[in-house]
Amino acid sequence: MTTAEYNQCVDRYADGVYRFILKNLRDDARAQDVVQDSFERLWLRHREVHVDKARAYLFSTAYHAMIDSLRKGKKEDLCDEVPMQTEGYQQEYSGLGEILEEGLSRLPSDQRAVIMLRDYEGYSYHEIGQITGLSESQVKVYIYRARLFLKKYIGSMDVVI
């Protein structure tokens, strides 16, 4: 990868990687650090990484750096079970986007990461598996569980609208 190609990667992928990490970490400074670290790692390996593989490399590197940051920064409950509301969303309606964001924030980090990669960034199950180090079937299970939780969290559309 040349310097010009690296700069194009920064222009193309920096916002997407930052959005992905920020939605998972919910801390602007830590997200910026993770993204910067990911691009630094890409630059250090720019001779080995082909420009066509740069996007996957960046998301994979950022994901693993985010996991490291989470492990260092705080203790996190790694349970698959998240307490669910039985009657859907209870607070005053303030917009479906906000309700969805709140639901996403309640997901375990691994489920949140795979749902973000699939539904926000558009990666395939295979690509998500490569990025996260999970098997393709485990990715599908996490996405299913996350979607099921979000469906129960949001409740019926009559409640939301």
- Distance separating alpha carbons of residues 104 and 116, to the nearest angstrom: 9
What is the C-alpha radius of gyration for the chain, rounded to an integer number of angstroms? 17
Indicate the average pLDDT of the chain.
Answer: 79
Q: Give 103's pLDDT tier (boundaries 50, 70, 90).
A: confident
This prediction's pTM = 0.56
Q: Give 150's pLDDT tier (boundaries 50, 70, 90).
A: confident
What would the two tokens of residue 73 be? 């920064």
Neighbours of 51 (CB within 10 A): 14
- Give yes or no for residue 76 having a pLDDT over 50: no
Q: How far is CA 24 from the centre of its chain?
A: 5
| pLDDT for position 157 | 54
pLDDT in tens, 120-133: 888 888 888 888 88
Question: What are the C-alpha distances in Å from 34 to residues 58, 132, 158?
Answer: 11, 15, 40
- Give yes or no for residue 21 having a pLDDT over 70: yes
- Distance separating alpha carbons of residues 4 and 42, to the nearest angstrom: 13
pLDDT in tens, 80-95: 444 555 444 444 555 6
- Give yes or no for residue 55 having a pLDDT over 60: yes
| pLDDT for position 79 | 40
Question: What are the C-alpha distances in Å from 31 to residues 17, 28, 71, 130?
Answer: 9, 5, 14, 21
Domains, the chain, in order of start with CATH, read 1-77 (1.10.1740), 85-156 (1.10.10.10)
| pLDDT for position 74 | 55
**Mean pLDDT calculated for residue range 16-25:** 85
Four-CA torsion 135, 150, 63, 123, nearest 10 degrees: 60
**134: Cβ–Cβ under 8 A, 6 or more apart, which residues?**
110, 114, 128, 142
| pLDDT for position 156 | 55
* b/e per residue 29-47 (b: at least 16 CB within 10 A): ebbebbbebbbebbeeebe
| pLDDT for position 132 | 85
| pLDDT for position 115 | 87
**84: Cβ–Cβ under 8 A, 6 or more apart, which residues?**
149, 152, 153
Q: Give 65's pLDDT tier (boundaries 50, 70, 90).
A: confident
